[in-house]
Amino acid sequence: MQCWKRLKHPHLVKILGHYESMHRVFFTMEYARGEDMPHYLQKNGPVKEYQAMIWVSQVISAVNYMHTGEIVHRDLKLKNIALFPDEGSVIKIGDFGFARSMIGGVALSETFCGSKSYLAPEISMGMPYDPYKSDLCCADKQGKSE
């Protein structure tokens, strides 16, 4: 549980607290007044290239921060990225349900995590994968999504 306490970045949804039951962990997180990216794009249509570049750089910044702290998200997708209009043009990554601390961890993972349309190819093929590279592959797909 300690890895969640270390997640403090302007482009990660703040985790305010957590509760652990016998089989699950529940998080209390900051409220996103905006909407997730699929809803925003459906309502507003495509964004200008400049805005997309800003948002993709925010995602990359957050992923880099997590990886530097040896944490992998393992489920990066537009649905897990929320717009925070009260903070300007800020987006934040949320949904840390598949996130994992990699401190002292194995080099490759075999756990199937993520959403089909955002998976790295090796996960789709059921092969062992590097969760850091998988996060980067998914982050790259964010900039290419509709």
Catalytic residue numbers, as ranges: 75
Neighbours of 80 (CB within 10 A): 22
Alpha helix stretches (DSSP H) within 96-146 = 121-124, 131-142
Inter-residue contact 113 to 71 (CB < 8 Å): no
Q: Which residues pair with 115 in a beta bridge?
A: none
Which phi and psi angles does 82 have, rounded to 5°? -115, 150
Taken in order 105, 11, 118, 21, is the CA torsion positive or negative?
A: positive
